[in-house]
Amino acid sequence: MAYFSKHYHSPGTAPGTLVSTSPSTRPVSIHLIDYTEENVEEERLASPQECQAYLERDTKTWIQVNGPVNVDTLRTLGDMFNLHDLALEDVLNSGQRPKLELYDDQLFLIAAMPILQDDALEIVQVSLFVGKNYLICLCPLEEDPFEPIRKRMRNPSNKRFASRDIDYLLYALLDLITDSAFPVLEAFGDKLEGMELELLEQPRKQTLSDIHRLKRELLFMRRVLWPQRELLTTLMRVEDPLINPDTLIYYRDCHDHSVQIIELLESFRDMATGMLDIYLSSISQRTNETMRVLTIIATIFIPLTFIVGVYGMNFQNPDSPWAMPELAWYYGYPMVWGLMIAITAGLVWFFKRRGWL
């Protein structure tokens, strides 16, 4: 995971310049849903120019663009829906901070959707343009993450989208984007639980690396999702004709989910920090136990080494009164062995009684 993931133009570039910083050959798909209270119509568009026919209708239109959007597609949509150049530039330069921009007759939002890609955290920038009867959503993922919302719209018994204005569709998209953090946090929670058990049983060097990686991902996720909570707060308080008062209760629910996510992130980050202390304490405890065992072994062998050293001097002059009489004893060798065994047993008993073994 890169520390800096924002794409940007060269310093000095004129504002609103649309130049792709990371061109891609992957295809772009455009999925359009045009709906009223009586009917829901879906189309797969081959080009953004085909959206023009739906602008003249008295319907609500959701245009979903998936894949790495190119400059030509952005310019076509910008000219067709009168989108601001600075907003289009923010769409092209991914890695933007979640935010809300108010224009004369439309809203521009950037939201961050966390996903796990090959067991690694990835933050996907989702850009949304909201007008009176249209919503344009641009997502760089090839697989459409908003299919669950389409299933709800296709359900004839679900009249919430049909009976409400376009701001309810905006809530549904933001709610899915916000709630996408919960599966990621669930995976992080499982990782924390596994690392905690590993720390208590048998910590390894790889465990320390895993903790550092998870802590960095949590910090990165918090840095991105914290302004998203501010985005939802601003959306609840903004006075704009595109946001109906009866839809604010849904935005408040989405904001509550965002608060829960931030709280979970804070808790997980504190747990990861505490695991570093547990790892260091565990390593220190293992070192102390090893040193204690080595000290006990050395303590046991100190008197044995002394006895062997004394009787290894071999002063056997029979005429000297200072000669060692034990060297000439018939049972001298087994006596020394018995003495060493007795000393060893006595030291082991003493250490166990003191709780050192």
| Domain stops at, among 267, 282, 297 | 282
Residue at 6 is within a domain = no
- Residue 19 pLDDT: 61
Residue at 18 is within a domain = no
Residue at 245 is within a domain = yes
- Residue 25 pLDDT: 61
- Residue 315 pLDDT: 66
- Residue 3 pLDDT: 47
pLDDT in tens, 191-240: 888 888 888 777 777 888 888 888 889 999 999 999 999 999 998 888 88
Long-range CB contact pairs, 37-42, < 8 A, 24+? 37/159, 37/162, 37/163, 38/162, 40/153, 40/154, 40/162, 42/150
Domain of residue 195 covers 29-282
Lowest mean pLDDT of 9-13, 115-119, 160-164, 328-332, name the range.
9-13
- Residue 4 pLDDT: 45
pTM: 0.77
Percent of the chain scoring above 90 in pLDDT = 27
326 and 219 inside one domain: no
Cβ–Cβ < 8 Å for 26, 111: no
160 and 65 inside one domain: yes
How many domains does the chain divide into?
2
If one counts every other C-beta atom within 10 angstroms of the C-beta of residue 34, the result is 20
338 and 266 inside one domain: no
Higher pLDDT, 23 or 49: 49
Rg, Å, the chain Cα set:
36
Residue at 145 is within a domain = yes
- Residue 24 pLDDT: 59
What CATH number is given to the structural domain containing 112?
Answer: 3.30.460.20
Task: Work out the pLDDT band at 251, boundaries 50, 70, 90.
Answer: very high
150 and 264 inside one domain: yes
Sheet holding 29-35, edge to edge: 40-45, 29-35, 60-66, 134-139, 120-130, 107-117, 99-102
- The chain-wide mean pLDDT, for the chain, equals 84
pLDDT in tens, 50-68: 888 888 788 899 999 998 8
Residue at 22 is within a domain = no
